[in-house]
Amino acid sequence: MVDPSRPPEDDVGHGTHVAGIIAAEVNNNEGVAGMTWYTKIMPVKVLDSSGSGSTYSVSQGIIWAVDHGAHIINMSLGNYAQASFLHDALKYAHDRGVILIAASGNDNTDRPGYPAAYPEVLGVAATDPNGVRAEYSNYGDYIDVAAPGTSIPSTYPGSRYAALSGTSMACPHVAALASLVKAANPNLGNDEVLDLLRKTAKDLGPAGKDNNFGYGEIDVRAALNSAMGRGNSIQTFPQRIRLELQRLLGFSR
């Protein structure tokens, strides 16, 4: 969307890092392992080489991704201004069954960030290694879940690896889990997947939903057990997906 005449090369590093959290190659004796083994990444470049961009380009990117078959859209970006055309793009995606997940922002404020604060989107806060809200993570009543976001190692341009912090790093943990849940139960709709992620999250902070963690920190095992418990048998899946679910849930081969 930044330059339609060029491929979506990452000239910042942010997108490569986010993508690696979701789907870095495994069993290759180097680097890091992504949360998912077989998820396909559709790179849609909506921010320029400074890491900035317009709400219009983000909206265009969402529509383009939907029209080209995206199932889940990870949005590790945001600002504090509402825009009707961005909301319309999100509604377009939601109405076509796409799962929408966005980072809350890194300014330690309860000011709603968008797209995370739109009702069609799962808003993600960040936790640190001590299981508390990361000091930079935005918070508020629009937060749905939290995920690890501090000093997360992942892939980086130039055949390198880097540890970065931010709700941008928390967001792909949730997107990856959504992908695994869909693999475990392809019959679940987008709202059902988001509801499952909320209900299976590990409650942190005050009992119940709160402004720091939403419903809590995502719980991969609980989410997949819940998805598998909704009328599916692991034996019905292709071998590569079955092996990944066995790895995550501790099934014997």
The domain that contains 182 carries what CATH number?
Answer: 3.40.50.200
Domain assignment of residue 74, yes or no: yes
Q: Quick check: is 100 in a domain?
A: yes
On whether residue 4 sits in a domain, the answer given is no
Mean pLDDT across 60-74: 98
Is 42 inside a domain boundary?
Answer: yes
236 has pLDDT over 70:
no
Question: Phi-psi region for residue 69, left (φ > 0), alpha (ψ -120 to 50) or beta?
Answer: left
In a domain, 135, yes or no: yes
Q: Provide the 3-class DSSP secondary structure of residue 99.
A: strand
* Residue-range definition of the domain harbouring residue 124: 14-249
Contact 162, 13 (CB under 8 A): yes
Q: Which of 62, 119, 126 is nearest to 96 (CA)?
A: 62
Which CA distances in Å does 153 have to 20, 80, 165?
A: 9, 28, 9
Alpha-carbon span 180 to 45, nearest angstrom = 24
Total domains, the chain: 1
Indicate the pLDDT class of residue 252, thresholds 50, 70 and 90: very low
Q: Which of 156, 137, 111 is nearest to 19 (CA)?
A: 156
Q: How many CB atoms lie within 10 A of CB 83?
A: 16
Would the pLDDT of 224 be above 50?
yes
Residues 6+ apart with CB under 8 A from 161: 31, 32, 153, 154, 155
Within a 10 A sphere around the Cβ of 179, how many other Cβ atoms?
23
Residue 80 falls inside a structural domain: yes
Q: What is the pTM of this model?
A: 0.91
Residue 177 lies in a domain: yes
The answer to whether 73 touches 100, Cβ cutoff 8 Å, is yes
CA R_g for the chain: 17
- 228 in a domain, yes or no? yes
Phi, psi dihedrals of residue 24, rounded to the nearest 5° = -60, 140
pLDDT digits (tens, 9 = 90+) for 150-192: 999 999 999 999 999 999 999 999 999 999 999 999 999 999 9
